[in-house]
Amino acid sequence: VHLVESGGGLVKPGRSLRLSCSTSGFTFGDHGMSWFRQAPGKGLEWVGFIRSQGYGATTYYAASLEGRFVISRDDFKGIAYLQMNSLKIEDTALYYCSSGESGDPFWLDYWGQGTLVTVSS
């Protein structure tokens, strides 16, 4: 299983950015997908999760994001997306996508290498 994040970069506060998580080596449509982030020198923080289409592609998000982020998925391409709106300086972090064999994220077997998002004026 291989997960590769892309789309990170330098963005100004208030702007938007979309991250992608390209996958291979497993049946993407059967798996939920999660996004996490890690600010420099800090711990892991959950961003959100999207269930498989078989479970309605239901999404869940960290309350701290205040509805600014949206997760979606394209099962034909095997890609999960993280749309980040109204970005703040405190959103600066390394963003990881992840998935696992437990359906909901009781545990996460697979992790990408991360993509860095820097929010600065």
Partner 1 sequence: SYELTQPPSVSVSPGQTARITCSGDSLPHIFCSWYQQRPGQSPVLVIYQETKRPSGIPERFSGSISGNTVTLTISGAQALDEADYYCQVWDNNTVIFGGGTRLTVL
Instruction: List contacts with partner 1 (CB under 8 A).
Output: 34, 36, 43-46, 49, 60, 62-63, 96, 98, 100, 102, 104-109, 111-114
45 or 75: whose CB is closer to partner 1?
45
Residue 70's DSSP bridge partners are: 83
In SS3 terms, 102-119 reads as CCCCCCCCEECCCEEEEE
CB of 39 to partner 1, least distance (A): 12
70-77: long-range pairs with CB below 8 Å, 24+: 71/33, 71/35, 71/47, 73/28, 73/33, 75/28, 75/29, 77/22
Q: Which is nearer to partner 1, 27 or 102 (CB)?
A: 102
Which of residues 5 and 91 has its CB atom nearest to partner 1 in the complex?
5
In whole angstroms, the minimum distance from the beta carbon of 47 to partner 1 comes to: 9
Distances (CA, A) of 64 to 5, 51, 67, 100: 22, 20, 8, 24
Give the nearer residue to partner 1 in terms of CB position, either 43 or 76.
43
Closest distance of CB 102 from partner 1, Å: 7
Minimum distance of partner 1 from residue 79's CB (angstroms): 18
